Amino acid sequence: MDVAPDRMNCVHASKLRLVKDTRERSALRELSNMEAKRRIADDAVAQARERLANAEKHRARVEAELYRKMLSENAISVSELERRHHLIIGRLTEDIAAAQRILDEARSAQDQAATAVLEARTLWTKRSAACHKWQEIERDVEQSTNAHVEAAAEIDADDEVLLRYCRGASALRGDEPT
C-alpha cells in the first residue's frame, strides 16, 4: 500500500504501524505453535515406527519359538501346535496391522502439521513485510512532518526579519507621519 507521507499525520501512522506490529506478533505466535505441533507429530511418527518395528520383531521371535516347539521331539500334538501357531501369529499380525495404522495416521498428522507450519510461515512473512513497510511509512511521515515544521519555522523567521527590515528601512528614509 503506497501512502503519501503528506496525507497522513504521525499519530495515524504510528497507530497503523502498531496494528501491523500486533498482527505480526500474532502470526509469529501462531507459527511457533504450529512448529511445536509439527515437532510433536514428528515424535509421534518416530514412536509409531518404533512400535511397529518392535511388534514385527516380537512376532518373528514368537514365530521362531513356535517352529522350534513344532520341531522338538517331545512336542504336544502337531495339530495343537498349529492351532496355537495360527492363533498367536494371527493376534500378532493384528498387532502389527494396528501399529501400521497408527504409523499411517501419525504420518498423516505429520504432513498436516508441516503444511500448517508452511502456511503460518507464509502468513508471518507477509505480516512482517507489512510491518516493515509501515515502519518506513511512519518514518517518512515523521520526516515529512519535520520538514514542514522546519519550513514553517523558517518562513516565520523570514517574515520576522522582513518585518524588522521594513521598519528599519522606513526609519532610515525618514518617513515620518505628517
**145-170 average pLDDT score:** 83
Measuring CA to CA, how many Å separate 17 from each of 138, 139, 146, 150? Answer: 7, 10, 19, 25
pLDDT band for position 72 (50/70/90)? confident
pLDDT at position 88 is: 86
Q: Check: CB of residue 31 under 8 Å from CB of residue 124.
A: yes
Rounded Cα–Cα distance for residues 178 and 171 (Å): 14
Which three three-digit cell numbers place residue 124? 508471518
Q: Check: CB of residue 23 under 8 Å from CB of residue 127.
A: yes
Q: Check: CB of residue 109 under 8 Å from CB of residue 44.
A: yes
Q: How does the average pLDDT of the chain come out, rounded?
A: 85
- Decide which of 121 and 7 is more confident: 121
pLDDT at position 4 is: 53
**Going from the N-terminus, what domains does the chain have, and what CATH number goes with each?**
10-173 (1.10.287.620)
Digit-coded pLDDT (tens) for 31-51 = 999 999 999 999 999 999 999
pLDDT at position 6 is: 53
pTM across the whole model: 0.62
Which three three-digit cell numbers place residue 163? 518585518
Placement of cell 492351532 in the chain: 83
Which amino acid belongs to residue 145? Answer: T
pLDDT at position 41 is: 94
- Decide which of 124 and 138 is more confident: 124
Q: Check: CB of residue 66 under 8 Å from CB of residue 81.
A: yes
